[in-house]
């Protein structure tokens, strides 16, 4: 009776250990989990980590565990967002309820967003062609263009300051631009992180 209990106990213990090892193995070797964990840890280098995780987790399979692909994906997302906002603002600027001062700020902003889109496009182009012989030049181009994109976004928001601006248009534009500026800032942080580990 006592002997059989000990045997069962021993069996149960080794059975549990086997299950635990199997579970741990699946947790640490299952690719999607590893990729998602990579995205989360890389996002700690950004100023807006929650936005970073929310926007990049869905691209974890593509990013795998590559800091370069992570920066590339962040640029892709920022570009898509800037293009969508630009189109939205073109439609908004023809709104008859806007004051002339607001229409003019909206048009300036569309122009600055156009520059942002262009800078992000060029960055993505060089990011995709980055290799050991062009690395120094291209990474420096990319850092310059993405910083310029951030400046253009801030210039757009500045145009919407002041009491004469309509509450709704101001709140909407500032909100959208702030969102893009945060995505851009995160992309720049991920580019800088990639550059720092690449050497």
Ligand X SMILES: *[C@@H]1O[C@H](CO)[C@@H](O)[C@H](O)[C@H]1NC(C)=O
- The residue from 133, 163, 167, 199 that contacts ligand X (CB under 6 A) is 133
Q: How far is the CB of 69 from ligand X (least distance, A)?
A: 4
Query: Closest CB to ligand X among 76 and 155?
Result: 76
The distance of closest approach from Cβ of residue 35 to ligand X in the complex, given in angstroms and rounded to an integer, is 12
Rule CB under 6 A: is residue 62 a binding residue for ligand X? yes
Among 73, 142, 165, 195, binds ligand X (CB under 6 A): 73
In this complex, which beta carbon is closest to ligand X, that of residue 97 or of residue 133?
A: 133
Q: Which residue, 59 or 107, has its beta carbon nearer to ligand X? A: 59
Of the pair 56, 98, the CB lying nearest ligand X is at 56
Residues 142 to 181: which contact ligand X by CB under 6 A?
none
Token look-up 């951030």 returns 150
- HSE at residue 9, side-chain half, CA atoms within 13 A, is 6
Selected from 29, 94, 97, 129, the binder of ligand X by CB under 6 A is 129
Q: What is the DSSP string of the chain?
A: -HHHHHHHHHHHHHHHHHHHHHHHHHHHH-HHHHHHHHHHHHGGGSS-HHHHHHHHGGGHHHHTT-HHHHHHHHHHHHHHHHHHHHHHHHHHTT-TTS-HHHHHHHHHHHHHHHHHHHHHHHHHHHHHH--TTTHHHHHHHHHHHHHHHHHHHHHHHHTT-STTS-HHHHHHHHHHHHHHHHHHHHHHHHHHHHHHHH-
Residue closer to ligand X by CB (options 77, 169) is: 77
Instruction: Say if residues 33 and 5 touch (Cβ distance below 8 Å).
Output: no
Q: Which stretch binds ligand X (CB under 6 A): 10-18, 111-119, 129-137, 188-196?
A: 129-137
Span from 36-44, 104-112, 126-134, 188-196 in contact with ligand X (CB under 6 A): 126-134
Judged by the rule CB under 6 A, the positions of this chain that interact with ligand X are 59, 62, 69, 72-73, 76, 129, 131-134
């Amino acid at each position: 009776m006592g002997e059989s209990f000990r045997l069962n106990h021993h069996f149960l213990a080794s059975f549990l250990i086997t299950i635990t090892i199997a579970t741990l193995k699946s947790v640490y070797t299952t690719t999607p989990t590893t990729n998602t964990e990579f995205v989360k840890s890389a996002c700690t280098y950004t100023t807006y980590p929650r936005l970073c995780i929310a926007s990049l987790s869905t691209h974890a399979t593509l990013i795998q565990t590559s800091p370069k692909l992570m920066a590339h994906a962040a640029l892709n997302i920022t570009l898509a967002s800037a293009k969508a906002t630009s189109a939205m603002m073109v439609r908004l600027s023809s709104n008859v309820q806007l004051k002339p001062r607001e229409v003019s700020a909206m048009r300036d902003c569309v122009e600055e967003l156009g520059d942002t889109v262009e800078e992000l496009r060029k960055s993505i182009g060089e990011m995709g062609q980055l290799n050991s012989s062009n690395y120094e030049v291209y990474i420096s181009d990319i850092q310059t263009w993405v910083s310029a994109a951030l400046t253009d976004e801030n210039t757009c928001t500045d145009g919407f300051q002041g009491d004469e601006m309509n509450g709704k248009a101001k709140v909407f534009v500032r909100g959208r631009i702030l969102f893009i500026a945060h995505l851009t800032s995160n992309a720049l942080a991920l580019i800088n992180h990639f550059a720092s580990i690449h050497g």
